[in-house]
């Protein structure tokens, strides 16, 4: 059976379950129930901290032998290819014979394989009584090198969360123009550049803005980091990402936060806000419609959490 569909699998630590489900809702408009799901949408696994594999399904059958028969019957061809068995879930009973299964498929493909630098990756997997064969794309995890950026602070956003913020801001559409309005050391901006977005960062503190530029230069990424108050932003963007201060709030701090939210509304209709407390009522009071939100735990104990809010401007 030929299909026009993808099968994905995700993986996450226990404390990241909410964050992963939040990202999947934004990217795929899908409520995650298990770590394997099907969709018609194509997303590069490497833009996500949680997506491991994507197979563009060519054949779906209820036995492995039927997959082999289809490959031969249709003279499936490829050059410089490699076949991999993909375990979509833990304790997959086929994982120990994965190499054997991959070899059996490879021998039936018309063309020349490549085991060192394949141009085409093909995947075979079994899930819930069916076998799936197709074009395989895997998370390259190159973004993990960003965890070693030379300049950071203990309160700075982690790389995993930064990647999620980019994805929920854009819904995975790399044509979107984004702004990281309180960019700090540039973690979100850096992940946006890595994923192929037109993104710039603004930072009011000159010393921290300099660290953001140094972080981007370290990875040879080219992005504009502006030293200045976000009140001076004149351009309009598809989405703005705002990481609000995490200090214990004095009256001044709360006033400052509300001021930041007010100016975020002026530069984008889609507003992503990160906080350390539940500010739902403040968002409503500022004429923001909450599209979705996530409480992301930093540890299993849940002793520190960040809230992420996807908002739209109701006043426009």
pLDDT digits (tens, 9 = 90+) for 248-298: 433 447 778 888 999 999 999 999 999 988 999 999 988 899 999 999 987
Long-range contact pairs involving 297-302 (C-beta distance under 8 Å, separation at least 24): 297/15, 297/16, 297/18, 298/15, 299/15, 300/13, 300/14, 300/15, 302/15
**pLDDT for 89 beyond 50:** yes
Q: Please indicate whether residue 154 or residue 137 has the higher confidence score (pLDDT).
A: 137
- DSSP string covering 174-223: TT-EEEETT-TTSHHHHHHHHTT-EEEEEES-HHHHHHHHHHHHHTT---
pLDDT digits (tens, 9 = 90+) for 12-71: 998 999 999 999 999 999 999 999 999 999 999 999 999 999 999 999 999 999 999 999
- pLDDT (0 to 100) of residue 302: 56
**Residues paired with 120 in a beta bridge:** 81
- pLDDT (0 to 100) of residue 156: 84
pLDDT digits (tens, 9 = 90+) for 108-146: 999 999 988 999 999 999 999 999 999 999 999 999 999
pLDDT digits (tens, 9 = 90+) for 190-207: 999 999 999 999 999 999
Q: Which domains does the chain have, with CATH numbers?
A: 6-138 (3.30.2130.30), 145-313 (3.40.50.150)
């Amino acid at each position: 059976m030929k299909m026009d569909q993808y099968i994905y699998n995700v993986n996450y630590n226990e404390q990241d379950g909410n964050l992963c489900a939040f990202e999947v809702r934004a990217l795929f408009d899908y409520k995650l129930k298990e770590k394997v799901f099907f969709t018609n949408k194509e997303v590069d696994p490497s833009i996500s901290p949680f997506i491991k594999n994507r197979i563009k399904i060519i054949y779906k059958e209820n036995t492995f032998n039927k997959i082999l028969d289809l490959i031969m019957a249709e003279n499936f061809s490829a050059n410089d290819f490699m076949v991999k068995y993909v375990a979509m879930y833990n304790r997959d009973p086929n994982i120990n014979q994965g190499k054997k299964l991959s070899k059996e498929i490879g021998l039936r493909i018309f063309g020349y394989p490549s085991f060192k630098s394949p141009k085409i990756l093909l995947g075979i997997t079994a899930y819930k009584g069916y076998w799936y064969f197709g074009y395989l794309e895997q998370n390259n995890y190159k973004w993990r090198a960003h965890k070693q950026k030379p300049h950071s602070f203990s309160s700075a956003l982690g790389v995993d969360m930064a990647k999620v913020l980019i994805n929920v801001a854009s819904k995975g559409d790399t044509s979107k123009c984004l702004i990281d309005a309180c960019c700090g050391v540039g973690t979100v901006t850096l992940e946006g550049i890595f994923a192929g977005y037109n993104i710039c960062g603004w930072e009011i503190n000159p010393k921290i803005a300099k660290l953001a530029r140094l972080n981007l230069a370290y990875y040879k990424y080219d992005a504009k980091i502006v030293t200045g108050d976000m009140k001076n932003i004149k351009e309009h963007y598809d989405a703005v990402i705002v990481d609000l201060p995490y200090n214990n709030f004095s009256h001044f701090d709360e006033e400052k936060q509300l001021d930041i939210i007010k100016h975020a509304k002026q530069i984008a209709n889609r507003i992503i806000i990160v906080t350390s407390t539940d500010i739902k009522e403040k968002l409503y009071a500022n004429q923001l419609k909450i599209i979705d939100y996530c409480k992301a735990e930093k540890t299993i104990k849940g002793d520190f959490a960040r809230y992420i809010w996807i908002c739209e401007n109701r006043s426009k």
